């Protein structure tokens, strides 16, 4: 039985020297894909920012946006090497620490027609968005300094090892994860769940309704996420080829199917189709197709997108009654959809489309491999996140003070407001000699 055992293969394998070896078309596509994935983090900031109350919008957006800096630098200096340098079954080596190792004989290394150094940025955008996703579980109650430290430590000691196990030649290399269902979405959702439980619920949880303050932000963020996700999934082919084309089409189809089912569920339950529901459906469909994007045919993508709507929709409805303050439903949107997508990748993967089997009968041996990868990701992410939070808690408070939570984290932690009052603006003008 033929198996395709990797998806996002690091470019540092099969190296050659630059000089006539560059594939201009594929390099151009990877440059665009990297930029598209980078855009997803500001897009997530808008998506999350619109979902929270007005007093926490800047803090929530900053928890995503700041990852571009702190996680990006940590990844480039150490994380990439731990994930993708040749190492053992459990961790990569140190050959790329400090961005060393990308030159030989004064020339840039090239792999499969692509500059090897480009992979640092492409994979870095994945690491950044994964950390940013976690913040959705913690909105409105985590100290920003503790979040910064958690971000850096988590990407090095939780994300990088799991990326190595699945994508870097580690012991989970037989699992199919084309662009990050296990490494990104399940990993982030479990970390968010553990962090939410360690921090505890917001003070007003269960007593007041936490309503989105800006639904247009939510729609804008979801739209930009979908746009960037074409680079996330199709870019993971690492070439401008048929595999990228398939992943691109599947990234279009699956969220569309999820939106249709989600909207019908909304209409059937309440007779109203909500904008937040439509935006959430897009994200759920994108998450579900991510591990399967280059392994299933378009019909499989439609099935995966449609089926993903059900567990996420009903869990998000039930979550408040479960007493879980997962502020922005990271578990429902990313954890459940990512798990379903990872398992269904084994079911729908088709050899005709680049996967490991044919037709709806599925490859049940592959399904077992998918279950193993999901279980390992859940266990390791939960354990690693818990340990890191406890260690950070020894150094500083994890949670904001009650008074800070009450007045809002924008003012308390950042000294800013998303929407300064007109009265405040007039006072500022008057103090500077302007019109009062």
> In this model, does residue 430 exceed pLDDT 60?
no
CA distance 294 to 287: 14
The reported pLDDT for the residue numbered 15 is 56
Domain interval for residue 111: 15-415
Does residue 95 belong to any structural domain of this protein?
yes
Stretch among 134-148, 209-223, 345-359 having the lowest mean pLDDT: 345-359
| pLDDT single digits (tens) 240-282 | 999 999 999 999 999 999 999 999 999 999 999 999 999 999 9
The reported pLDDT for the residue numbered 436 is 33
Does residue 2 belong to any structural domain of this protein?
no
352 Cβ contact list (under 8 Å, min separation 6): 297, 358
Is-contact 232 40, C-beta < 8 A?
A: yes
Average pLDDT, the chain: 91
Stretch 303-308: mean pLDDT: 98
Does residue 8 belong to any structural domain of this protein?
no
pLDDT band at 19, cuts 50/70/90? Answer: low
Does residue 420 belong to any structural domain of this protein?
no
Stretch 308-336: mean pLDDT: 97
401 Cβ contact list (under 8 Å, min separation 6): none
CATH number, domain of 262, equals 1.10.3430.10
Does residue 110 belong to any structural domain of this protein?
yes
pTM of the model: 0.93
Does residue 4 belong to any structural domain of this protein?
no
> In this model, does residue 92 exceed pLDDT 90?
yes
> In this model, does residue 3 exceed pLDDT 60?
no
| pLDDT single digits (tens) 373-388 | 999 999 999 999 999 9
| pLDDT single digits (tens) 339-360 | 999 999 999 998 888 776 544 4
Question: CA of 258: how far to CAs of 62, 146, 218, 262, 380, in Å?
Answer: 29, 36, 17, 6, 29
The reported pLDDT for the residue numbered 106 is 83
Stretch 295-300: mean pLDDT: 96
* Residue with the larger pLDDT of the pair 408 and 87: 408
pLDDT band at 435, cuts 50/70/90? Answer: very low
> In this model, does residue 9 exceed pLDDT 50?
no
Does residue 425 belong to any structural domain of this protein?
no
271 Cβ contact list (under 8 Å, min separation 6): none
* Residue with the larger pLDDT of the pair 192 and 20: 192
DSSP, res 105? T
CA distance 354 to 29: 20
Does residue 428 belong to any structural domain of this protein?
no
Give the CA-trace dihedral at 118, 122, 123, 128, to 10 degrees.
130
Residue appearing with tokens 């937040």:
276
> In this model, does residue 426 exceed pLDDT 50?
no
> In this model, does residue 433 exceed pLDDT 60?
no
The reported pLDDT for the residue numbered 6 is 38
What share of the chain in percent tops pLDDT 70? 90
> What is the token pair recorded at 355?
């996967």
Stretch 109-121: mean pLDDT: 95
The reported pLDDT for the residue numbered 431 is 47
**222 C-beta neighbours (distance < 10 Å), count:** 26
CA distance 330 to 339: 13
> In this model, does residue 424 exceed pLDDT 70?
no
> In this model, does residue 318 exceed pLDDT 60?
yes
CA distance 37 to 293: 15
> In this model, does residue 16 exceed pLDDT 70?
no
Domain count along the chain:
1
Stretch 58-70: mean pLDDT: 98
Stretch 53-81: mean pLDDT: 98
CA distance 173 to 164: 9
């Amino acid at each position: 039985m033929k198996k395709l055992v990797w998806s996002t293969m690091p470019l540092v394998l099969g190296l050659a020297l630059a000089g006539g070896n560059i594939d201009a078309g594929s390099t151009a596509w990877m440059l665009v894909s990297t930029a598209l994935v980078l855009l997803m983090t500001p897009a997530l900031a808008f998506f999350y920012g619109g979902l929270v109350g007005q007093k926490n919008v800047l803090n929530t957006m900053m928890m995503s946006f700041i990852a571009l800096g702190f996680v990006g630098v940590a990844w480039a200096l150490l994380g990439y090497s731990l994930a993708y340098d040749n190492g053992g079954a459990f961790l990569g080596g140190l050959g790329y620490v400090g961005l060393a190792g990308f030159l030989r004989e004064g020339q840039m290394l090239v792999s499969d027609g692509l500059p090897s150094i480009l992979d640092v940025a492409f994979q870095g955008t994945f690491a950044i968005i994964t950390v940013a996703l976690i913040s959705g579980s913690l909105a409105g109650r985590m100290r920003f300094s503790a979040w910064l430290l958690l971000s850096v430590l988590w990407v090095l000691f939780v994300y990088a090892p799991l990326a190595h196990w699945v994508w870097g030649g580690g012991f989970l290399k037989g699992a199919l994860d084309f662009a990050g269902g296990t490494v990104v979405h399940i990993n982030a959702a479990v970390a968010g769940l553990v962090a939410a439980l360690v921090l505890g619920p917001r003070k007003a949880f269960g007593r007041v309704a936490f309503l989105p303050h800006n639904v247009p932000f939510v729609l804008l963020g979801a739209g930009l996420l979908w746009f960037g996700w074409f680079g996330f999934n199709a870019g993971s082919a690492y070439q401008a080829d048929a595999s990228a084309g398939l992943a691109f089409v599947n990234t279009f189809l699956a969220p569309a199917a999820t939106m249709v089912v989600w909207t019908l569920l909304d209409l059937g339950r309440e007779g109203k189709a909500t904008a937040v529901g439509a935006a959430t459906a897009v994200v759920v469909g994108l998450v579900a197709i991510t591990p399967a994007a280059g392994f299933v045919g378009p019909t499989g993508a439609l099935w995966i997108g449609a089926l993903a709507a059900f567990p996420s929709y009903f869990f998000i409805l039930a979550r408040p009654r479960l007493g879980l303050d997962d502020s922005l439903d990271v578990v429902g949107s990313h954890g459940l959809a990512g798990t379903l997508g990872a398992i269904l990748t084994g079911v729908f993967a088709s050899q005709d489309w680049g996967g490991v089997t044919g037709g709806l009968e599925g490859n049940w041996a592959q399904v077992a491999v998918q279950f193993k990868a999901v279980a390992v990701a859940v266990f390791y992410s939960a354990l690693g996140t818990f340990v890191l939070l406890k260690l950070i808690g020894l150094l500083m408070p994890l949670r904001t003070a009650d008074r800070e939570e009450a007045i809002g984290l924008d003012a308390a932690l950042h000294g800013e407001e998303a929407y300064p009052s007109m009265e405040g603006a007039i006072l500022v003008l008057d103090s500077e000699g302007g019109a009062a």
